[in-house]
Amino acid sequence: MPRALSISELENFPSLDWFDVAPALTPEVRSSLERILETQNGNAIAQEEAFALAHAEGDDLLGLLAAANLLRADLAGNLITYVVNRNINFTNICFVGCKFCAFSRGPRESDTYFLNPDQVAQKAAEAWQLGATEVCIQGGLPHGLPPFYYRDILRAVKNAVPAMHIHAFSPMEIVYGVELTGMPLADYLSMLRDNGLGTLPGTAAEILDDEIRHILSANKLSTAQWIEVIRTAHRGGIRSTSTMMYGHTETPEHWVRQMRLLREIQDETGGFTEFVPLGFVHQNTLLFHQGLARSGPTLTEHLKVHALARLLLAGSIDNIQVSWVKLNRRLSQLCLHAGANDYGGTLMEENISREAGATAGQYTSPEDFQSLILEMGRIPAERNTIYTRIKLKLPLEKFTAEETLEPEFA
């Protein structure tokens, strides 16, 4: 029986070195981790071996975290990146009824809102003035949405701020847009791309298993639909993020299967820019209050998911992001020691996690990100959405625009 780790042991794992902890691991876990480290490829182990890593406890868990941190250093270096962006949720009216969501409202509730395209464009212009290079645009799904509303948002934003990168519309919204317009999926995505869509959020994934999805939301798109939207977008030149929500009704086997599925898609399309683990925020959700889910992830689960992502996605998706809005300051740093290399976006106006009960706030400034990263002994770097432009940031006391380095990566 593996020994139970104390909270202090988990919180102090960043001080451990892989070569110090490796001798204490069980032979099977050590063998699996060594093969991934040697090949820098998560496909070096079989699914059953990955399941064993997902259930690691005690010294094996410490070894998992140390190996992920070592692999992160090899694949991503000591940079921790972030993007300056604004989150724009254009409406909170939604008919889908996801039990894990506390953001959506029925059309007759008193605190509903709906932004027209010009209002979305105004928010994008404000963000540009504040230094944002990206707007992340998503919203609820209201009945009676104008068929070309998503296209019209893109046109309005590009007209107001031509250089702004638009990261917008989850696969669920894409499916709804196809339904509203009657267009074939590939044609609909091409229309959005031609009107300014830069990248697609890989949200609405939650757990890509239809039994779990039915518990989370009976009306949401299926696993097959999510995959079809993502593959079609990638084939049409629209890259996307990839995500997974953990800490509710799923098991560690679901984590592994999802990561392996994302690898399979990435091997085919090369379209994923990053993987973002999203911890379930339970406090204000029906899913939790109806007794259908546990009370969010444990510390062990937070660390384990980020470490597994680094190890199992290695050689396929090499940018692993922490969702700081769902984590506190210390926990986000710990996850960055457990294999992640990206802090996500400044957001400016985060609503969805906050309404579910998250307390990390709605905005983290670039200066705050830089402080958090320097506190860890790592190098802060501002990136664009697809990681092709990275600006290294010097320590705050020396920071000036003139001293910013701008290496371009192909």
pLDDT of 397 reads 54
Order the strands of the 390-392 sheet from edge to edge.
Answer: 342-345, 79-83, 379-383, 390-392
Tokens of 22: 């490796």
Q: Give the Cα separation of 309 and 307 in Å (integer).
A: 5
What are the start-end ranges of the H helices in 112-236? 117-129, 149-160, 171-181, 185-194, 210-216, 223-235
Give the architecture (CATH level 2) of 79-403: Alpha-Beta Barrel (3.20)
Q: Determine the pLDDT at residue 124.
A: 97
In this structure, the strands spanning 79-83 and 85-89 are unpaired
Residue ranges of E strands in 16-107: 79-83, 85-89
Give CA–CA dist 213/215, Å, rounded: 5
Domain spans, the chain? 7-76, 79-403
CA dihedral 22, 27, 33, 35 (to 10 degrees): 120
Query: Which tens digits make up the pLDDT trace of 20-34?
Result: 999 999 999 999 999
What's the pTM value of the predicted model, to 2 decimals? 0.92
Which tokens hold the place of 28? 């099977």
Give the tokens for residue 5: 């780790």
pLDDT in tens, the chain (410 residues): 777 788 888 889 999 999 999 999 999 999 999 999 999 999 999 999 999 999 999 999 999 999 999 999 999 999 999 999 999 999 999 988 787 887 678 877 888 999 999 999 999 999 999 999 999 999 999 999 999 999 999 999 999 999 999 999 999 999 999 999 999 999 999 999 999 999 999 999 999 999 999 999 988 999 999 999 999 999 999 999 999 999 999 999 999 999 999 999 999 999 999 999 999 987 778 888 899 889 999 999 999 999 999 999 999 999 999 999 889 889 999 999 999 999 999 988 645 444 444 444 567 899 999 999 999 999 999 999 999 999 998 655 554 443 444 444 33
Cα dihedral: 260, 261, 262, 263 (round 10): 50
Give the β-pairing of 379-383 and 239-246: unpaired
Where is 246: in which H helix or E strand?
Answer: strand 239-246
Nearest to 185 by CA among 198, 171, 196: 171
Tens of pLDDT, residues 130-186:
999 999 999 999 999 999 999 999 999 999 999 999 999 999 999 999 999 999 999
**Residue 206 corresponds to which tokens in the numbers above?**
């939650």
- How far, in Å, are 70, 314, 383, 399 from residue 73 at the CA level? 5, 12, 18, 25
Q: Give long-range contacts, CB 8 A cutoff, 24+ apart: 290-295.
A: 290/99, 292/99, 292/215, 292/248, 292/249, 293/100, 293/247, 293/248, 293/249, 294/247, 294/248, 294/249
The Cβ of residue 237 has, within 10 Å, a number of other Cβ atoms equal to 10
Contact indicator for 348, 326 with CB cutoff of 8 Å? no
